[in-house]
Amino acid sequence: MALIEIRDVTYKYPFTKKPALHDVNCSIEKGKFYGVIGENGGGKTSLCNLMRGLIPHFYNGELTGIVNIDGTEVRDWNTGELAAKIGYVFQNPFTQISGIKPTVFEEIGMGLENLGMEKEAMIHRILEVSKELDIEDLLQKDPNAMSGGQRQRVAFASILAMDQDIMVIDEPTSQLDPQTTEKVFDIIGQLKNSGKTIILVEHKIDLIARYCDEVILMQGGTIVRQGATADILTDTSIEELGAVVPQTALFGHAMVRAGKSLERIPITVEDAVEQIRKWKEVQA
């Protein structure tokens, strides 16, 4: 059975008329890396809230259908145990920072404290993730006196530190410079390789193309496409569904139109370069 199983789910936030999610069906397999894409307001964050159990435990409202997380219906999960099982990086880095801790060090430690980690192990862990995310110089800084991207790194570090089995990560790189963005994807990729299950919301389609096993495309509160990354992202009809096609795939299609078809439509830079090499060989 799938790790997270969502069947015929429709959900309305309290005091709203229109459902934020409707007729959602999907299965999340253990150990896979899922990229959730789609237009603003499409329901990506709401899907995250659902998978993390915040719907219905934190957000009341009207939920119909079945959500099963690791064999147990979401309504039957204890909220503390769910929090220990599933990490959640919120969309807005400006709200994830608690604002109640005087230093970045303590900010990152807060979640670990809540998990009941011992002091020594905690310090070790904080230093470890800080090194990984290159925020060691910021550890003594007031979390409120940081640049936008620094805050987002700290928010991500706080969750990374907790090391949960399932990670739901909502737009972790929106404020990050390109190389740091890449670094965060690398780290998430390594988490997947170590057996974790990842659900990542992201607009940066080139990185989704490179790292994700599967893509879930949402529009208007429901899943309109789901499947292997290359299958979804080479199909330009997803543009009509509010999605962006990677530049490399658009290049592949432009080559077809110019009568210079490559062997296949690439979705990454590496593959585009490889396809060009092969095409040149054939020409020669």
Ligand X SMILES: Nc1ncnc2c1ncn2[C@@H]1O[C@H](COP(=O)(O)OP(=O)(O)OP(=O)(O)O)[C@@H](O)[C@H]1O
Q: Are 105 and 126 in contact (CB under 8 A)?
A: yes
Binding-site member from 110, 115, 230, 276 for other proteins (CB under 8 A): 276
Q: Is position 248 an interface residue for Mg ion (rule: CB under 5 A)?
A: no
In the list 35, 43, 53, 246, the residue contacting ligand X (rule: CB under 6 A) is: 43
- Binding-site string for other proteins from residue 57 to residue 76, where x marks contact by CB under 8 A and - marks none: --------------------
Residue placing its CB nearer to ligand X in the complex, 179 or 194: 179
Phi, psi values for residue 226, rounded to 5°? -150, 135
Q: Which among 135, 136, 80 has a CA at the least distance from the CA of 111?
A: 80
Which residues fall within 8 angstroms of residue 55, CB to CB, at 6 or more apart? Answer: 11, 46, 49, 61, 63
Please, what is the minimum distance in Å from the beta carbon of residue 41 to other proteins? Answer: 6
Which of the listed partners (other proteins, Mg ion, ligand X, none) does 25 bind, with a CB threshold of 5 to 8 Å by partner kind?
none
User: How many other CB atoms are there within 10 angstroms of residue 26's CB atom?
Assistant: 18
Exactly one of 10, 25, 103, 180 binds other proteins (CB under 8 A); which one? 180
Residue 149 interacts with ligand X (CB under 6 A): yes or no? yes
By the rule CB under 5 A, 49 interacts with Mg ion:
no
Bridge-based pairing of strands 33-38 and 214-219 is: parallel
Choose which of 121, 145, 254, 256 interacts with ligand X (CB under 6 A).
Answer: 145
Our finding on whether 102 is near other proteins (CB under 8 A) is no
Choose among other proteins, Mg ion, ligand X, none what residue 46 binds, the Cβ cut-off being 5 to 8 Å by kind. ligand X
The single residue listed with the structure tokens 């800080």 is 130
Closer residue to ligand X in complex, CB, 13/251: 13
Look up residue 248 and give its two tokens: 């490399």
DSSP letters for 158-201:
HHHTT--SEEEEE-TTTT--HHHHHHHHHHHHHHHHTT-EEEEE
Total number of residues that touch ligand X (CB under 6 A)? 19
Number of residues engaging other proteins in binding (CB under 8 A): 51
| Torsion angles phi and psi, residue 47, rounded to 5 | -60, -40
Show the beta-strand stretches assigned E in the chain.
Answer: 4-12, 21-28, 33-38, 62-69, 72-73, 86-89, 166-170, 197-201, 214-219, 222-228
Neighbours of 32 (CB within 10 A): 16
Q: Does 148 bind Mg ion (CB under 5 A)?
A: yes
Q: Which of 80, 99, 102, 148 binds ligand X (CB under 6 A)?
A: 148
Query: By CB under 6 A, is residue 41 in contact with ligand X?
Result: yes
Judged by the rule CB under 6 A, the positions of this chain that interact with ligand X are 13, 16, 20, 38, 40-46, 91, 145-150, 175
Judged by the rule CB under 8 A, the positions of this chain that interact with other proteins are 38-42, 45, 91-92, 94-95, 141-142, 145-150, 153, 171, 174-182, 203, 206, 239, 242-244, 246-248, 250-251, 254-255, 258, 260, 269, 272-273, 276-277, 279-280
